Amino acid sequence: MIRTRIAYLLIGCATASLTRCSPVDRVPATVHVQQEHTDWSTGLIAYEATWPDKFGIGRPADKKFIDRWDIDVRPDGKGLPKGRGLAKNGAAVYRKKCASCHGANGYEGPEDKLVTDPTGGNTIGNYWPYATTIFDYVRRAMPFDAPGSLTDQEVYDITAYLLYLNGIIEEGHVITEESLPRVEMPAKKRYVLDDRRGGPEIR
Amino acid sequence: MSVERDYFLQIRGLVRWLTATVAIFLALVAGLVWYQHTSRGVKEPSFDSKIVVDPGKVQGAPSSEVGYRSKYDNPKRIATYATASRTPLEELQGTITPSDLHFERHHAGIPDIDPEQHELLIHGLVDRPIRLKLSDLKKYPSVSRICFIECSGNFRYGKREMTPGEVCGLTSQSEWTGVLLSTVLRDLGVRPEAKWLLAEGADGALMARSVPLQEALTEAIIAYGQNGEAIRPQQGYPMRLVIPGFEGNTQIKWLRRIELTDQPVMTREETSKYTEKVKNGKIRMFSLVMDARSIITYPAYPKRIEKGWQELRGIAWSGRGKVTKVLVSVDNGKSWQEAHLQGPVLEKAHTAFKLMWHWDGKPTRVLSRAIDETGYEQPTYKQLVKAREARGGYHFNPIVGWDIEKTGEAYLADVEDI
């Protein structure tokens, strides 16, 4: 009798435990969807591992092609063509090609003020840290209505003239690929590199 | 009866008829005018009619090759100058800027470039300089990324009647598609002394910027796609540089040349422009990353709100990563509540924030403040002025807000008073 009861009890427990362990019962009441970090670079490293060692796309650029396009001029003078610029010659070019936007003396506007005057505002003389930038910019982008139309000689002369108008060089000072990088600009000492790095401090 | 009397009667009859006709006509016109003036809404006929009173009862326009906006919806860029236009932030839904409303800033106009004639030269401190056409770029493994591009000179104020777009609409968000710069450079043999890159555009200004190579390499994209289509001419067709989080000016459009160098070129755009005066008479240069910022786009000028519940909406973004929190004040800064951020919150991306607000009809000021994952909190105007000893300049990202008047009208709050 007792044995039968124990047997029933065991069968009962087994059934109960089986029922409890059935897959349907195991699904939790709340489904936790896995929160994956998804951003633009998700899986990129694994994808990169499937790339070939070399793509071999495009065609090689030879020196001739590069020289034609490589127009930038750096503070150390790299990129400057050989040449000699004089303020006196620059004055004539300036009157013809620059004065209508920048004013007869370089500060009347209507466009950017280039020469320091008592009314304030950023100019080459009080704001530009490198003299080579004048050459680089004038050659690449000026005059506004015909960018890139000036000869290197004209650019050298205008550079000399603008430095002279700002009182940075003497009128007779010859601007060459050697002397331009050596021109010390008054604003250079004011420049600092960005020090904002995020975080709570306001800079 | 005399002939004259007969004539007289005939003419009298004619005149009477004419008078009656004119009177009836006038009465009808007056009646119609009165009816049109007084009746509002369209009367539906009680039978199946072909009269167009319900778009559900008539065939609409056929399909077309290119879609169009509803004629009832006309968002427009805010064109302040010939060389710039702003995104009307207050007109946008969600966080993607429709490509034709992306802000513009160009220094020599928008060039017309035939991709067949266009090439990208990559040279400098590499062993194997190359020339790439648009079709070449598309052969590389591609990458797509949603991020904002913001001009670093993106803050205007000075009068109460200004819209969010007028205040800081030189920011827009797109999904950019292209190839990672690092993927292209993989083949070229970058020399260890390469520390900077010069990127140059093919526009009339040959716009050029120097960017530190290490910082740019992880995320910079040479992009050719914008929101599923080719980049628009205003945004640099056929290819541009996209450097998520960096100031817009570095992300050279109409890209034609990348030169790897050991030092920055110090172009006009990174010396005489895009530098800012900071304290002690210093000038800060290479301020490349855009700090966290936010703006409430509703309620905002020129909208007017009604008393009761409304969803206050805005966007927040940071060039240093994800926006983690946006705090909103509806009581002029006395208390701040955390706004709901619409997920997924992406790195260096416009993030929509919302807050349900019950306006009691009393005049107040609403403000928003973004906080990013570096712990940076968007500063007030006063904090910025104190930190920099300058009252403006590039990278000026102060908290802005809106004065809600008794009438429900919203006006730009005086930023110096926040």
For Cα atoms B364, B369, B372, give the angle at the middle one, nearest 5 degrees: 165
pLDDT at position B344 is 95
Give the pTM.
Answer: 0.86
Whether A31 has a pLDDT exceeding 70, the answer reads no
Q: What's the CA gap between B83 and B157, in Å, rounded?
A: 19
CATH of the domain at B243: 3.90.420.10
pLDDT: is A16 or B300 the higher one?
A: B300
What pLDDT was estimated at residue B162?
98
Asked if B356 and B309 count as a contact pair (C-beta separation under 8 A), the reply is: yes
| Contact between residue A175 and residue A85 where contact means Cβ atoms under 8 Å apart | yes
B131 falls within a domain: yes
User: B263 vs chain A: nearest CA distance in angstroms?
Assistant: 8
DSSP, res B57: G
Both B214 and B313 in one domain: the answer is no
For residue A29, pLDDT over 70 is answered with no
Contacts of B109 (CB under 8 A, 6+ apart): B83, B203, B204
Residue contact A196–B204, C-beta within 8 A = no
Q: What phi and psi values does residue A28 have, to the nearest 5 degrees?
A: -65, 160
Q: Residue A21: which pLDDT band, with cuts at 50, 70 and 90?
A: very low
- Asked if residue A16 has pLDDT above 60, the reply is no
**Is the predicted pLDDT of residue B3 greater than 80, yes or no?**
no
Mean pLDDT for the stretch of residues B365-372: 98
Name the 3-class secondary structure at B358: strand
For the ranges A29-38, B49-58, B134-143, B283-292, the lowest mean pLDDT is seen at A29-38
The reported pLDDT for the residue numbered A19 is 47
Residue B117 Cα, gap to closest chain A Cα (Å): 14
Q: How far is A176 from chain B (nearest CA, A)?
A: 18
> What is the token pair recorded at B33?
């005018």
* Statement: residue B9 has pLDDT above 80: yes
Whether residue A190 lies within 8 A of chain B, CB to CB, comes out as yes
Q: Say whether both B260 and B297 belong to one domain.
A: no
Q: Give the residue on B whose Cα is nearest the Cα of A142.
A: B205
B123: confidence class by pLDDT, cuts 50, 70, 90: very high
Is the pLDDT assigned to residue A34 strictly greater than 60? no
B194 CB-near residues (< 8 Å, 6+ apart): B124, B125, B126, B213, B260, B261, B262
How far is Cα of residue B415 from the mean position of the Cα atoms in its chain?
A: 21
Q: How confident is the model at residue A23 (pLDDT cuts 50, 70, 90)?
A: very low
In chain B, the residue whose alpha carbon lies closest to the alpha carbon of A57 is: B136
B124 and B228 assigned to the same domain:
yes
d(CA B245, CA B349): 8
pLDDT at B7: 87
Q: What's the pLDDT score for residue A59?
A: 97
A58: which chain B residues are within 8 Å (Cβ-Cβ)? 130-133, 136
pLDDT tens-digit readout, B56-111: 878 899 999 999 999 999 999 999 788 999 999 999 999 999 999 999 999 999 99
Asked if A57 and B347 come within 8 Å (Cβ–Cβ), the reply is no
Task: Identify whether residues B162 and B244 lie together within a single domain.
Answer: yes
Reply yes or no on whether the pLDDT at A22 is more than 50: no
Question: What pLDDT score does A24 carry?
Answer: 47
Residues 6 or more apart whose CB falls under 8 angstroms from that of B143 comprise A40, A44, B177, B178, B179, B180, B183, B221
Mean pLDDT, rounded, for A144-168: 97
- Whether B278 and chain A come into contact, CB under 8 Å, resolves to yes
What are the pLDDT digits (tens) for B166-225?
999 999 999 999 999 999 999 999 999 999 999 999 999 999 999 999 998 899 999 999
Examine the pLDDT at A2 and tell me if it is beyond 70. no
Angle CA(B200)–CA(B130)–CA(B128) in degrees, nearest 5?
Answer: 120
Q: Average pLDDT in the B39-66 region?
A: 73
State the pLDDT at residue B309.
98
Across the A/B interface, how many CB contacts are shorter than 8 Å? 161
User: Does domain A73-190 sit in CATH 1.10.760.10?
Assistant: yes
* Whether residues B87 and B224 fall in one domain: yes
- B16 lies in some domain: no
B174, B184, B206, B259: best to mutate for the A interface, most A CBs within 10 A: B206
pLDDT at B32: 83
End-to-end CA distance of chain A: 89
Q: Could you tell me which chain B residue has the CA closest to the CA of A190?
A: B282
* Structure-block tokens of residue B65: 């090759």
Asked if residue B131 and residue B185 are part of one domain, the reply reads yes
Tell me the pLDDT of chain A averaged across its residues: 89
Does residue B238 share a domain with residue B124? yes
User: What dihedral angle (degrees, nearest 10) is formed by the CA atoms of A33, A35, A38, A44?
Assistant: -90
According to DSSP, the β-strands at B255-261 and B120-124 are parallel
Averaged pLDDT score across all residues of chain B: 94
Q: Where are the domains of chain A?
A: 73-190
Beta-carbon separation of A72 and B267 below 8 A: yes
CA-to-CA distance for B364 and B380, rounded, in angstroms? 18
User: So what's the ipTM on this one?
Assistant: 0.85
Q: What is the pLDDT of residue A5?
A: 65
- CB neighbours of residue B96 within 10 Å: 15
Domains in chain B: how many in total? 2
Span B35-60, mean pLDDT? 67
Q: Do A61 and B130 touch (CB under 8 A)?
A: yes
Tell whether B311 and B240 lie within a shared domain. Answer: no
Q: Do A57 and B136 touch (CB under 8 A)?
A: yes
DSSP-based three-state secondary structure for B146: strand
Q: What is the pLDDT of residue B376?
A: 98
Average pLDDT of the residues in B390-397? 96
pLDDT at residue number B404: 98
Same domain, B240 and B122: yes
Task: Name residue, tokens 């050596």.
Answer: A182
A38, A47, A69 member nearest B344 (Cβ)? A38
Same domain, B384 and B329: yes
Tell me, yes or no, whether B397 lies in a domain: yes
Q: Is A56 in the B-facing interface, judged by CB distances under 8 Å?
A: yes
Q: Closest residue of A to B291, CA-based? A: A198
Interchain proximity A61–B284, CB inside 8 Å: no
Question: Is pLDDT at B356 greater than 50 in this prediction?
Answer: yes
The percentage of chain B sitting over the pLDDT mark of 70, rounded to a whole number, equals: 95
Q: Pull the structure tokens for residue A20.
A: 């409890």
pLDDT at A15: 55
**Site from B118, B255, B266 to mutate, A interface, most A CB atoms within 10 angstroms:** B266
Averaged pLDDT, B23-33: 87
Range of the domain at B308: 293-417
B30 in any annotated domain: no
Q: Chain B contacts of A44, Cβ < 8 Å?
A: 143
Residue pLDDT, tens place only, B126-173: 999 999 999 999 999 999 999 999 999 999 999 999 999 999 999 999
Contact assessment for residue B216 and residue B197, using Cβ atoms and an 8 Å cutoff: yes
* Chain B residue whose CA is closest to A58: B132
Query: Are B170 and B206 part of one and the same domain?
Result: yes
Listed by number, the residues of chain A in 12-51 with a beta carbon closer than 8 Å to a beta carbon of chain B are: 38-40, 44, 47-48, 51
pLDDT per residue as tens digits for the range B221-252: 999 999 999 999 999 999 999 999 999 999 99
Q: Is the pLDDT of residue B307 over 50?
A: yes
Total H helices, total E strands in chain B: 6, 24
Do the chains contact at A40 and B208, CB–CB below 8 Å?
no
Question: A116 vs chain B: nearest CA distance in angstroms?
Answer: 14
Cβ-Cβ contacts under 8 Å, A57 against chain B? 130, 132, 136, 139-140, 187
Q: Are residues B202 and B321 in the same domain?
A: no
